[in-house]
Amino acid sequence: MTTKASILVVDDEPVERQTLTEILRLEGYYVASAANGEAAVDYARLHNIDLMILDLRMPGMSGLDVVKVVSRISPDMEVILLTAHGSMETAIDALRQRVHDYLLKPASPTQILETVEKGLARRRAKLQTREKSSSSADSERAAVILTDGIVIDFGRRQIENGLHTIFLTPAEGRLLQIFVENPGKVFSHRELVLLVQGYSTTQQEAPEILRPLVSRLRQKLGEIPSLAQRIVSVRGTGYVFEAA
């Protein structure tokens, strides 16, 4: 077993949170805990996490909402969902979010430790595979070339089309990357606030938060009209990035 891996336990129930933390610490893992989804996201922004054990139903951000955010902050992190309210629908949602495992409460210490070890092994395998790629190949993957000759480097947050070079802020870069990687998908205002800004908000508040960001992005992309015009408002819903 690999020791000293970093694990974050997220559960709004103090007894459950403490029990999981103690089980994992006795096995030699470095364990931190958070009482809600917002605290988990804040912790993930400041610390490297190898694996997260996450309660599905919590006040505020749900477990799946947390997964959506932290998977962008720490894409190599493995996630195990724990819940007392299992259903086929939530299990499918978890798998769509690339969650490593889905366990029903109360899970035994043996079940917890076995799935943690498997999750960490999967993480190591993914990292080893990535290390085999050369740095030049990594640079190529970071750049996206659109059909009209526009090159977007998400690592540098830079867009070029041969005539203009546009530099984006981190939030603008995240928003554009979400659009470019999901052409034709309609995102609600609330989904985009969660994915870009990292926190959950109400359906009424989300448009007021998102619209200024979209406006700034469109203004910058004004020098490349063919790209700016692909960000389309969906009345009463949100935005879609139209396929070329």
Per the domain annotation, does 1 fall within a domain? Answer: no
Same domain membership, residue 187 and residue 95 = no
Q: Are residues 232 and 153 in the same domain?
A: yes
Instruction: State how far the alpha carbon of 18 is from the alpha carbons of 7, 27, 43, 105, in Å.
Output: 13, 15, 17, 15
| Distance of alpha carbon 198 from alpha carbon 87, whole angstroms | 26
Residues 6+ apart with CB under 8 A from 46: none
Closest CA to 211 of 230, 174, 229, 238: 238
Are 233 and 183 in the same domain?
yes
- In the chain, the amino acid numbered 238 is G
pLDDT tens sequence across 200-215: 777 888 888 888 999 9
At 99, is the pLDDT very low, low, confident or very high (cuts 50, 70, 90)? confident
User: Residues 129-167: pLDDT tens digits?
Assistant: 666 554 444 444 567 777 677 888 888 888 988 888 999
Q: Are 60 and 127 found together in one domain?
A: yes
Reported pTM: 0.54
Q: Return the closest-CA partner of residue 231 out of 200, 203, 205, 210.
A: 210
Quick one: average pLDDT of 42-56?
A: 89
Domain end residue (candidates: 70, 101, 131)? 131
Using alpha carbons, list the distances in angstroms from residue 235 to 186, 188, 238, 244. Answer: 11, 10, 7, 21
Domain hosting residue 168, numbered range:
135-241
Residues 158 and 223 in one domain: yes
